[in-house]
Copies of this chain bind each other. A is one copy, B any other.
Amino acid sequence: MKRLLITGISGFVGGHFVQSIIRDNDEYEVFGISRSKPSWDFLTINPKLLNYHNFYLADLNDIPKIKSIIEEINPDYILHLAAQSSVAESWKTPVNSFMNNTNIFLNIIDTVRTMENSTRILSVGSSEQYGIVSEIDLPLSEDRTLNPANPYAIARVAQEQLARIYATGYGLDICCTRSFNHCGPGQTDRFVVSAIMKQFAKIAHRLQEPIIQIGRGDIVRDFIDVHDVVRAYKLLLMQGKRGEIYNICSGEGRSIIDVVMLFSGMYHMKVEVHQEQSEFRPMDNPRIIGNNQKIQKDTGWKPRVPFEESLWSMYEYWFKQNVAGTDNPEYT
- Where the two chains meet, the residues of A that have a C-beta atom closer than 8 Å to any C-beta of B are 63, 91, 94-95, 98-99, 102-103, 106-107, 110, 113, 145, 148-151, 154-155, 157-158, 161-162, 165-166, 168-170, 282-283
Assuming A99-B106, A149-B165, A154-B165, what are 6 further A-B pairs, CB within 8 angstroms? Answer: A149-B169, A157-B157, A157-B158, A157-B161, A168-B283, A169-B282
Q: Which of B106, B154, B282 contacts A98 (CB 8 A)?
A: B106
A contact face: mostly helix, strand, loop, or mixed: helix
Q: Which of B110, B145, B165 contacts A95 (CB 8 A)?
A: B110
Q: Which 10 A-B pairs have the closest CB atoms?
A: A169-B282, A158-B158, A154-B161, A95-B110, A145-B145, A169-B283, A95-B106, A154-B162, A98-B106, A148-B161
The answer for the CA separation of A103 and B149 in the assembled complex, in Å, is: 18
What would be 7 A-B contacts, judged by CB atoms less than 8 Å apart?
A: A94-B113, A102-B102, A102-B158, A151-B165, A157-B158, A165-B283, A170-B282
Q: Which of B150, B168, B169 contacts A165 (CB 8 A)?
A: B150
Given A145-B145, A161-B148, A169 and B91 touching (CB < 8 A)? yes
A150 to chain B, nearest CB (A): 6
Given A168-B282, A169-B150, A282-B168, A98 and B162 touching (CB < 8 A)? yes
| Closest B residue, CB atoms, query A99 | B103
| Closest B residue, CB atoms, query A160 | B154
- Chain B residues contacting A149 (CB-CB under 8 Å) are 165, 169
